A and B are shown apart, each in its own frame.
Chain A
Amino acid sequence: MHSASKERGAADFLLSGNGVKSAPGLFGEAENSCIEPKISARGVNFYYGPKRALKDINMDFSPRLITAIIGPSGCGKSTFIRLLNRMNELVPGTRLEGEILLDGLDIVAPVCDVAELRKRVGMVFQKPNPFPKSIFENVAYGLEINGSLARRAIEEKVEDSLKKAALWDEVKDRLRESALGLSGGQQQRLCIARCLAVEPEVILFDEPCASLDPISTAKIEELILTLKKTYTIVIVTHNMQQAARVSDRTAFFLMGELIEYGGTGMIFKAPHDRRTEDYITGRFG
Chain B
Amino acid sequence: MTKRELIQKTGFTLLAMCMAANIVFLGLIIFFIASKGLSIISWEFLTQAPVDAMTRGGIAPAIVGTLYLTLGAVLIALPLGAACAIYLTEYSPKGWTVNLIRISVNNLAGVPSVVFGLFGLAIFVKKAGFGVSMLSGSLTLGILALPVIISASQEALIAVPQSIREASLALGATRWETIHRVVLPAALPGILTGVILSVGRVAGETAPILFTAAAFYMKGYPDSVLSEVMALPYHIYALMTEGTHPEIQTQIAYGSSLVLLALVLSVSMLAIFIRQRYRRGYNA
Write the residues of chain A forming the contact surface with B, with a CB cutoff of 8 angstroms: 85, 87, 90, 92, 115-120, 122-123, 125, 127, 129-133, 141-142, 144-146, 180, 191, 194-195, 198
Contacts and interface: CB of A to CB of B under 8 A. Distances in A.
Contact of B185 (A117, A132, A146, A191): A132
Interface string B213-254: 000000000000000000000000000000000000000000
B89 interface: no
Interface string B156-179: 000001011111111111100100
A120 B174 CA distance: 14
A79 B274 CA distance: 39
A55 to B, nearest CB: 25
B164 A142 contact: no
Given A92-B94, A133-B185, A145-B181, A125 B171 contact: no
Given A115-B174, A142-B173, A198-B172, A129 B185 contact: no
A125 B166 contact: yes
B170 A123 contact: yes
Contacts, number: 70
A119 B171 contact: yes
Interface of B: 93-94, 161, 163-174, 177, 181-182, 185-186, 284
A90 to B, nearest CB: 7
A87 B166 contact: yes
A131 B169 contact: no
B166 A122 contact: no
Contact of B161 (A120, A122, A129, A146): A129
Nearest to A146: B172
| In the complex, the 9 A-B pairs of residues with the closest C-beta atoms, listed nearest first | A119-B172, A129-B163, A123-B170, A142-B171, A118-B172, A129-B167, A145-B173, A145-B177, A115-B172
Given A120-B172, A125-B170, 17 more contacts: A85-B170, A87-B170, A90-B166, A118-B169, A122-B170, A125-B166, A129-B164, A129-B167, A131-B164, A132-B185, A141-B168, A142-B171, A142-B173, A145-B171, A145-B173, A198-B171, A198-B172
A92 B93 contact: yes
Contacts of B185: 132-133
Nearest to A117: B172
A129 B94 CA distance: 25
Contacts of A92: 93-94
A117 B172 CA distance: 7
B188 to A, nearest CB: 10
Nearest to B93: A92
B187 to A, nearest CB: 10
A51 to B, nearest CB: 17
A119 B174 CA distance: 11
A180 B284 CA distance: 9
B167 A125 contact: yes
A137 to B, nearest CB: 9
B182 A131 contact: yes
A87 B169 contact: yes
B40 to A, nearest CB: 47
25 contacts: A87-B166, A90-B165, A92-B93, A115-B173, A115-B174, A116-B172, A117-B172, A123-B166, A123-B170, A125-B166, A130-B164, A131-B164, A131-B168, A132-B164, A133-B185, A141-B171, A141-B173, A142-B171, A144-B181, A145-B171, A146-B172, A180-B284, A195-B170, A198-B171, A198-B172
B171 A194 contact: yes
A145 B172 contact: yes
A194 B173 CA distance: 13
Contacts of A146: 172
B244 to A, nearest CB: 60
A277 to B, nearest CB: 35
Contacts of B284: 180
B163 A125 contact: yes
Contacts of A133: 185
B169 A129 contact: no
Contacts of B167: 125, 129-131, 191, 194
Nearest to A89: B169
A148 to B, nearest CB: 13
B93 A122 contact: no
A122 B171 contact: yes
A146 B172 CA distance: 9
Highest count of chain A CB atoms <10 Å: which of B93, B165, B182, B284: B182
